[in-house]
């Protein structure tokens, strides 16, 4: 879990961050929470971020995918897109997350796809669609991130 070896980044983004000494797969790994939940980012650009998460280990007492787990996947994917949009001089900070849960999932993997609704100078908003292995929509989410200038000590480029 947490291995990000399959992430595909646009070459210009890889070059931009490499020039700063930043390891993109580590930067966009979903962090410790994502590791514990099994989040895997498969594809990442400002235009589209794709990731998966297992249902097993992320369920509520009825055995269904926990709504909070869907929220973690949605915020992770949308934040990655917003940060890639903002570039290496910006830090994406989530300020609003809305999730609508359409159906339950009991097993397998869910896949989230984040696409931009708005990409501005100070905010970015992404729609995230989470589907089960049969392609049925499990959750629709919307995330808005504030794009802050990176300051020394922020840890954004660590």
108 vs 5, more confident: 108
By DSSP bridging, strand 90-101 and strand 137-149 are antiparallel
Q: Residue 10 pLDDT > 80, yes or no?
A: no
**Tokens (6 digits) for 17:** 């961050």
* pTM for the whole structure: 0.85
> pLDDT for 72-116, tens place per residue?
999 999 999 999 999 988 989 999 999 999 999 999 999 999 999
Please name every residue paired with 114 in a beta bridge, in sequence order, or none if there are none: 49, 128
Q: Residues with catalytic annotation?
A: 75
- Spatial distance between the Cα atoms of 43 and 69, rounded to a whole number of angstroms: 20
- Spatial distance between the Cα atoms of 117 and 124, rounded to a whole number of angstroms: 8
Please count the other Cβ atoms lying within 10 Å of the Cβ belonging to residue 118: 11
37 vs 158, more confident: 37
Q: Residue 4 pLDDT > 60, yes or no?
A: no
- Spatial distance between the Cα atoms of 7 and 14, rounded to a whole number of angstroms: 11
């Amino acid at each position: 879990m947490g291995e990000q070896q399959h992430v595909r980044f646009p070459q210009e983004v890889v070059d931009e961050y490499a020039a700063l000494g930043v390891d993109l797969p580590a930067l966009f790994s979903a962090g410790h929470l994502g590791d514990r939940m099994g989040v895997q980012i498969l594809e990442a650009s400002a235009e589209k971020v794709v990731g998966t998460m297992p249902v097993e280990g992320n369920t509520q007492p009825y055995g269904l995918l926990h709504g909070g787990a869907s929220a973690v996947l949605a915020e992770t994917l949308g934040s990655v897109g917003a940060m890639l949009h903002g570039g290496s001089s910006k830090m994406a900070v989530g300020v609003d997350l809305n999730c609508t849960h359409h159906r339950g999932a009991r097993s397998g993997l869910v896949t989230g796809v984040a696409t931009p609704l708005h990409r501005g100078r100070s905010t970015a908003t992404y729609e995230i669609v989470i589907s089960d292995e049969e392609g049925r929509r499990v959750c629709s989410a919307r995330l808005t991130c504030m794009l802050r200038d990176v300051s020394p000590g922020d840890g954004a480029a660590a």
